[in-house]
Structure 1
């Protein structure tokens, strides 16, 4: 009797039947409702999890998905079905009416969230070219769009950008040697094989951030602290082309999102702390200092205590690492910005240079002397007298060094003569003896 009752109840369709029903429907895939996306798409997650989440929405009608199948570097598949079976180009923006362009824009963003493996140039050639052309269309659209970006669009843009850019680096082995100034230019940088797509994603995001149609008050919900931290992590890329884009983008974010400025400065400080006191390995210190040079130039007077602490705790200790030649020019510029804004900081800077003065590295010592020359030119007599004694003691050691001839050739003649005359005068004054 029970079996007869159960036999009359409607049966739940099996997963296989559901897969067979929707497996080849490309139109259904592209028209899947954006409302089905979870509310955390706007937050900055790791590249792999975002790509997996997008894979679920992009192929929501194919069937269950597996996070591992959309891991970066793997062959893109959904439920065992290769992307090539449904990855086709979408219509151009000129081919649809204005009322449908935003919807098409979102679909193209979703399409560009699929990550391809570029370590093998023979795989997915057609699909890679489709994605590249689609990215170029997105760049043109975001440049010429009229009308404010909606929150939905912002959400999808951050999702696409995060899926493509946020990834784990596989650093090349580095030799444990002292980096001399002439070594910096000779080392061959590591180029990312995926740059063919990454460059366009960076260009797209740069134009999106710089667009007058982007409302910073709304966008700060998606370009949030988590997103900024992941963007800062990318500065350790070995590809100089990527670091150049990151420098420009972060500078634009700093200028546009005033609410994020203190956080960006604090996060950058933390990168410097880890670099100086723990690892002494980071590829993007020069680019970060370039950004900070512009930021320091805009500091209002009188300088806040926070900014002075940044000079003492972050910038001056950057003279310590052996790889100083890689970023000394940018560091020296930042230091001079502080001294020119507040001449009373000259004593702090000079004492900081003396604290980290190199003992066995002649090339690095030449850099210190060159920077010291610039600082002294901007130093007032009252400040100079405060640090005169330890400064002359250090220069006396340089003059008595076996490397004297080498650093004197790299230092301005006028400065050298002035230093020598000052030391002579200082030596003849009563009560002081140079050792």
Structure 2
């Protein structure tokens, strides 16, 4: 039943998705033994979305990300390794989707919630973003520049110093972009 509940997030009606979000979050908070199963199924759904499988539904992914943001907010500190693996295998690869703008706000909120819990994950997040950095889609590149700015606000100076060459390399490429929107950002 729980797996079917996660699969229902592909519906077009936002009211149904809102009810599903509330139900899934309530079940997650009450069914302690099923939390791992719920997270694994959400992870599988987000991984499928990251690789643009046919059942990918932008609004459903955005709703699942909102649920995940609430779940991540409840994580104990330090964050367990399986939660870090979720970040690396399910959330960061979502930056590669073609229609990033439709899911960016809840995705960014999820990433920032992780960083608020454990700032040491900033390097993982930034290097993951650079891995999926767009090369020809200037609209997506502008969105990711905005996200980069937000993520850097939650990043320690020591992490920034460690990966400064990669950061400045991407910023330099953006400054030389043929797109005026990207170059100005």
Q: TM-score, normalised by structure 2?
A: 0.94
> In the alignment, does 2:98 pair up with 1:322?
yes
Of 139, 143, 152 in structure 2, the residue corresponding to residue 363 of structure 1 is 139
Moved segments of 4+, more than 3 Å: none
2:2 partner SS? helix
**Deviation string, structure 1 residues 117-166 (Cα, Å, up to 9, x no partner):** xxxxxxxxxxxxxxxxxxxxxxxxxxxxxxxxxxxxxxxxxxxxxxxxxx
1:359 match: secondary structure: coil
Gaps spanning 5+ residues in structure 1: where?
A: 1-226, 412-435
Matched, 1:406 2:181: yes
Partner of 1:373: 149
Q: Which has the higher contact order (CA 8 A, sep 6+)?
A: 2
State the TM-score, normalized to the length of structure 1: 0.41
**Secondary structure at 1:363's aligned position in 2?**
helix
Q: 1:247 and 2:24 equivalent?
A: no
**Contact kept? 2:68, 2:110, Cα under 8 Å:** yes
State the Cα distance separating 1:359 from its structure 2 match: 1.1
Whole-Å separation in 1 of the counterparts to 2:121 and 2:6: 29
> How far did 1:272 drift?
1.2
Deviations 1:380-429 (A, max 9, x none): 111111211111111101001111x31355x4xxxxxxxxxxxxxxxxxx
How far apart are the structure 2 equivalents of 1:336 and 1:408?
A: 25
CA distance in 2, matches of 1:326, 1:401: 23
Q: Matches of 2:32 and 2:174 in 1, distance apart?
A: 46
Distance 2:21 2:38 in 1: 13
**How many aligned residue pairs are there?**
183
Q: Could you tell me how far apart the structure 1 residues matched to 2:28 and 2:42 are?
A: 12
User: What is the CA deviation profile of residues 33-71 of structure 1, one whole-angstrom value per residue up to 9, with x for unaligned ones?
Assistant: xxxxxxxxxxxxxxxxxxxxxxxxxxxxxxxxxxxxxxx
Measure, in 1, the Cα distance between the counterparts of 2:169 and 2:48. Answer: 32
Q: Is structure 2 residue 8 aligned with structure 1 residue 234?
A: yes
- Aligned mates of 1:267, 1:231 — CA distance in 2: 10
Q: 1:275 aligns with which of 18, 39, 49?
A: 49
Distance in 2 (CA, whole Å) between partners of 1:386 and 1:349 is 14
Give the RMSD, CA atoms, in angstroms: 1.4
How far 1:246 sits from its partner (Å)?
0.6
Aligned to 1:253, the other structure's residue is in SS state helix
CA contact (8 A) 2:93 2:132 kept: yes
- Structure 2: where are the runs of 5+ without partners? none
Structure with higher helix content: 2
